[in-house]
Amino acid sequence: MSRSSDTTRRTPPGILLMRSIRGKDWSFSTYRYVVLFVTFIAYACYHASRKPTSIVKSVLYPDPNRPLGNGQYPWPIANVFIKERFSDTGINRMRNKGWAPFNGPDGTSKLGEIDVAFLACYSLGMYVAGHLGDTLDLRLFLTTGMIGSGIFVGIFGMGYFWNVHVFWFFLLMQMVAGLFQATGWPSVVAVIGNWFGKRKRGLIMGIWNAHTSVGNITGSLLAASVLNYGWGWSFIVPGALIVMGGILVYFFLPAYPEDIGFTCPQGSATNAVAEPNDEEAQISKRNVVGGEINSASQHGSVRRKSVGLLEACSIPGVIPFALCLFFAKLVAYTFLYWLPFYLSQTEIGGEYVSVRSAGNLSTLFDVGGIVGGILAGYMSDKLNARATTAASFMYAAIPSMLLYRTYGSISKTVNIILMMAAGLFINGPYALITTAVSADLGTHSSLRGDSRALATVTAIIDGTGSMGAALGPLLTGFISTQGWDAVFVMLMIGALIAGLLLSRLVIAELSEKTCKPMSQSSGQQSIGAPVTQPLLSDRR
């Protein structure tokens, strides 16, 4: 294969087309905005395609003891948060009868089982996907995962039109969809890590990580908006959305700066941009004419070496953060999958909201999550303490959940305020660990300069976290039959354990802060400096 064809294979077709139309290339800064935008859209699509199961739970398994709506328009947004008029036709008839095999006495358990099937395959697939992401072309790998996810999410919804009532059909579709979904997070974090250095990484990734909440909101609104036409559409529409997102990735996502003509004098983009000076000053532009790179170029996406799982696990800080994320995602994903169901079956301000209204109302939890992710990233940059920030948020999540369960039923106003507060503290550390912390560890100084570990480290941390994400909804399916108080106790215990698991790293960070004046005065690092210091500090 000639160098020209090899370059074309690695350079996104949309960028080649843009160059031919404009007659010139974009700047490095512009490409970084493109990368942020495309990866933001990509992972928002991933999360949008995960929301339908939470929206349709109350349709598949209706509560026989819940009173029907009276058609009134509740606070606060009139025709958005509405009560359905329950009649004997369409969605309302299905609302009363449910959908076999989920409408029996063990309905919530079966719903929990399909959640855990998805998340178990997602978490196990993450370990393989992370290594593949560091080995294969990230752009093509991500495209394949998105299109595959969309297809199987759509097939799940087709069970409505095919009148499928076999539990194993829905279980299998969720399992395969989970495997394809595992391609997403390691890939997008690796791409962002390749383009952005450690300076202000927490804030940048905190803002960028809003895609999780934006995707949840989008998926909830899309699924709820078409629910009246049949619950199958609540899966097909988000499935089509992620397929379109995959096409966007294929045409416009450059996985590495080298793939579109940028190189790093020090041989590694991640090494260069980690320097304290401005990242762009460390990167030189090679001659790019018509999409071809000169003979001095390195094959960025195909010439770097990846590291193994054991080598990645040995990086200081990987295991504690992975275990912390196990419990953090247990809490976060329980809200992700069960909050609309909880809202639809809990009396708020003396009345019950409809299934559609519950889906709309649950999006405000993710609005709080957006603020939490940005705030956690900003604080970790300012304090130069990732572990301390994450642990503090997890501890604060405990009283926020207690207040939400205790006082959330007073009125819709109180429910929304407390729900957003809970979302802020729950999603803040989850966002921080899966973005900035993973990227820091993936470019840790203990790695060889030419090694690729971003996707692998991200997969280890998020894969372990996803095991907790699988366990939380499964336990909720069983525990909720005993009452929601028991579910919230489980969630608060999970948040407490997540914070405690970071205690050693928190102590190390606080010790570093205490010894900092002495280290600066001597011009050397303290002999007792913690081994995790390269992780917890932006200094090299």
Three-state secondary structure of 245-258: HHHHHHHHCCCCHH
> Distance between CA atoms of 88 and 94, rounded to whole angstroms?
9
Domains and CATH numbers, the chain: 12-66+99-262 (1.20.1250.20), 308-512 (1.20.1250.20)
* Phi, psi dihedral angles at 158 (to 5 degrees): -65, -15
Query: How does 354-381 read in b/e, with b if 16+ C-beta sit within 10 Å?
Result: bbbbbbbbbbbbbbbbbbbbbbbbbbbb
Q: Which two three-digit tokens encode residue 66?
A: 């819940």
Q: What is the pTM of this model?
A: 0.70
User: Going by C-beta distance under 8 Å and a sequence separation of 6 or more, which residues neighbour residue 167?
Assistant: 101, 110
Backbone angles phi, psi at 254, to 5 degrees: -85, 120
Full pLDDT tens readout for the chain, 540 residues: 333 334 334 789 999 998 999 888 888 889 999 999 999 999 999 999 998 988 898 889 876 555 444 433 333 333 444 444 434 444 444 445 789 899 888 888 888 889 888 888 988 888 888 878 878 888 999 999 999 999 999 999 999 999 999 999 999 999 999 999 999 988 998 888 788 766 666 778 878 888 887 898 899 889 989 988 999 999 999 999 999 999 999 999 998 888 887 764 333 334 433 344 444 434 444 444 444 444 334 444 444 555 666 777 777 778 899 999 999 999 998 998 888 888 888 888 888 888 778 878 888 898 898 899 899 888 988 888 888 999 999 999 999 999 999 998 898 899 999 999 999 999 888 888 877 787 777 655 555 544 456 677 878 888 888 888 878 887 887 888 888 999 999 999 999 999 999 999 899 888 887 876 544 444 444 333 444 444 443 433
pLDDT given for residue 442 in this prediction: 64
Specify the amino acid at residue 509.
E
Contact present, 185 and 458 (Cβ < 8 Å): yes
How many Å apart are CA 531 and CA 537, to the nearest integer? Answer: 11
The whole-number pLDDT of residue 405 equals: 93
Closest Cα partner for 34 from 212, 183, 255? 255
Answer whether the bond into residue 13 is a cis peptide, omega within 30°: no
Non-local CB neighbours of 159 within 8 Å, separated by 6+ positions:
169, 170, 173, 232
pLDDT value of position 418: 94
Q: Please, are residues 109 and 479 in contact by the beta-carbon 8 Å criterion? A: no
- Dihedral sign (CA 176, 153, 59, 116): positive
What is the SS3 assignment for 194?
helix
Angle at the Cα of 326 from the Cα atoms of 375 and 430, rounded to 5 degrees: 10
pLDDT of residue 316: 76
Kindly write down the DSSP assignment for every residue of 467-484, as one continuous string. HHHHHHHHHHHHHGGG-H
526: left (phi over 0), alpha (psi -120 to 50) or beta: beta
Would strands 451-452 and 305-306 be described as parallel, antiparallel, or unpaired?
parallel
Question: How many Cα atoms within 13 Å fall on the side-chain side of residue 226?
Answer: 16
Say what the alpha-carbon torsion angle 263, 264, 269, 274 is, to the nearest 10 degrees. -150
Q: How far is CA 315 from the centre of its chain?
A: 23
